[in-house]
Structure 1
Amino acid sequence: MKKTAFATSMLLASSLFLPAQAAEYVIDTEKAHAFIDFRIQHLGFSWMSGRFNEFSGNFFWDADNPEASSIEVVINTNSIDTNFAERDRHLRSDDFLDVSRYPEARFVSTSVEVNEDGTMKMTGDFTLHGVTNPLVIDVEKVGEGTDPWGGYRVGFHGETSFTIADYGIDVTRLGPGSQEVYLVLSVEGIRQ
C-alpha cells in the first residue's frame, strides 16, 4: 500500500514538471471557473457592473507557439445579470440587447500576437445584437499545470472595450459617458 501511494505521488509530482502540450481545452463554466464581467457608466454619474451568467466555449492553446492558439466563446445574452431584476429585464428588451431576436453573442478569434513582455493581443470577430465587428482583447496567461484531480488546466485574463453604438444599440439618451462597454474575461480551460 505504501509503495502504491508513493508511486502515485511521484507520478503526480513529476507531471507538474512536464512541458505543456498544444491541445484543445473546454472552458470550465460548469464549476464556475470562468467569468465574463462588464461595466459601463450610468448617465456619467457612476459605474454599473454586471456579468453574463451563461456562456460556453473552447480554445486551442500552444505554449510553444502561442500565435497558433485560438478561441471561440458563445454568450447567452438572456443571462445578463446586474443584480437588479427590473434593469436586467430592460437590458434584455429591444431597447438594448433584444435577446428574443439575438439570443447569443459570439467571439471567434482570428489571430494572436505575442508582445515582448509575454502578454498577447487576440484579434477576432465579435458578434452582438446581430452585428459583427473586429475586436482586440489584451490577454495575459495566468498559469497552467496539473490540477488536484489529475486533469490539466490553463487560465487566461483578458480585457477589452467597445462602443455600443457600433453594434446597433442606441444609448445616446444615456449620455456620452455611457457609450463604451468594458469587458473582463477570466477563462480557465480543462485539457481534453
Structure 2
Amino acid sequence: MTTTRTILIAAAAALLSWTVASAEPAPAPPAATLPAGQYTLDPAHASLVFHVNHLGVSNFTSRFSKFDATLDIDPAHPETARVTATIDPASVEIFGSNLASILKSDKWFNVARFPQMTFKSTKVERTGDKTARITGDLTLHGITRPVVLDATFNGGYGKNSFDPGGARIGFSARGTLNRSQFGLAEGIPSPGTTMGVGDAVQFQLEVEFSRKD
C-alpha cells in the first residue's frame, strides 16, 4: 500500500509540474528572429517626456502627446536601422498651469512659425547585445543639429496569439540637448546662478513599433 501511494503521489506531482510548465508563456524569440522591414509607431504605447532644471530646485517634467515615427530595421543587423520621427510641438502638455501656452509662444517653440519637429537617424552603433547609440539630425525651431540617443532593445516577437496585429518590437531611449543651440535661449540662468530654466534638456522615449504581415 505504501509503495502504491508513493507512486501515485509521484505521478501527481509530475503531472502538476508538467501542467504548470505548459501554462507558462513561451520565451520571446531573440531579436534576430523578428521579421525585417518597416515598423510603424504604436501611439497608444509610446511616450516622449522631457526634463529641464527649474530654478536649481527641481527637474521640471513635461511631454509631447502627438508624435509619429517609422523604423526600418533588419533585426539581424540592427546597425543598418533607420529611424524617422515627427513631433507636434503644439502638443506639449503641462498639467494644472498655463505654461503650455507660454511654451507654444514665439519666445519658445513658436508653433505658429515652426509647427513640426523632425528627427532622422544618420548612424546606428551597437554598444551591447541589447543597446545601441543612435545619431541623427534633429530639426527644432527651424534649426537642424545632431543629437545622440542611447537606446535599449526591450523585446519583441514575430507572431503572438495574444497580438493578432503582427510583429512588435519595443525600445527605450534617452538623450540630452542644449536648447540654446536651437535658438531657444529664453530664461537660461546667468552665469553663476540657477535662477531660471536650465539650458540642458533631458528627454526619454518609451516606444513600441508594430508591423503587419
Shorter chain as denominator, the TM-score bin is 0.7 to 0.9
> Match for residue 59 of structure 1?
71
1:183 is paired with a residue of what secondary structure? strand
2:102 is paired with a residue of what secondary structure? helix
Q: Say how many residue pairs are matched.
A: 178
Q: CA RMSD in A?
A: 2.1
Contact 1:48–1:82 under 8 Å retained in 2? no
1:171 lines up with 2:171 in the alignment = no
| Cα distance change on mapping 1:61 and 1:44 into 2, 3 Å | same
Gaps of 5+ in 2: 1-24
How far has the Cα of 1:153 moved from its partner?
A: 0.3
| Cα distance change on mapping 1:90 and 1:52 into 2, 3 Å | same
Contact 2:29–2:156 under 8 Å retained in 1? no
How far has the Cα of 1:61 moved from its partner?
A: 1.9
How far has the Cα of 1:158 moved from its partner?
A: 0.3
Hey, what's the Cα distance between the residues in 1 that align with 2:210 and 2:115? 26
Hey, what's the Cα distance between the residues in 2 that align with 1:190 and 1:121? 21
Aligned 1:1-80 pairs, distance under 5 A: 17=29, 19-29=33-43, 32-80=44-92
Hey, what's the Cα distance between the residues in 1 that align with 2:55 and 2:29? 51
Answer 1 or 2: which has greater strand percent. 1
Code of the residue aligned with 1:154 in structure 2: it is I
| Cα distance change on mapping 1:110 and 1:184 into 2, 3 Å | same
Hey, what's the Cα distance between the residues in 2 that align with 1:141 and 1:72? 17
How far has the Cα of 1:173 moved from its partner?
A: 4.3
Q: Percent identity?
A: 31
Hey, what's the Cα distance between the residues in 1 that align with 2:131 and 2:29? 22
1:83 lines up with 2:98 in the alignment = no
Structure 1's consecutive aligned runs of 4 or more residues displaced over 3 angstroms after TM superposition are 172-177
| Cα distance change on mapping 1:190 and 1:116 into 2, 3 Å | closer
Contact 2:34–2:167 under 8 Å retained in 1? no
Max Rg structure? 2
> Match for residue 185 of structure 1?
205
Contact 1:25–1:60 under 8 Å retained in 2? yes
| Cα distance change on mapping 1:85 and 1:107 into 2, 3 Å | same
**Residues 84-125 of structure 1 deviation map (CA, whole Å, 9 limit, x = unaligned):** 341110011011100111111111101100013531000000
1:162 lines up with 2:177 in the alignment = yes
How far has the Cα of 1:174 moved from its partner?
A: 4.2
Contact 1:44–1:175 under 8 Å retained in 2? no
Hey, what's the Cα distance between the residues in 2 that align with 1:66 and 1:161? 23
1:119 lines up with 2:139 in the alignment = no
What TM-score comes out, normalization by structure 1 length? 0.86
Hey, what's the Cα distance between the residues in 2 that align with 1:143 and 1:117? 12
| Cα distance change on mapping 1:179 and 1:17 into 2, 3 Å | closer
Aligned 1:120-135 pairs, distance under 5 A: 120-135=132-147
1:95 lines up with 2:110 in the alignment = no
Code of the residue aligned with 1:59 in structure 2: it is L
Gaps of 5+ in 1: 1-12
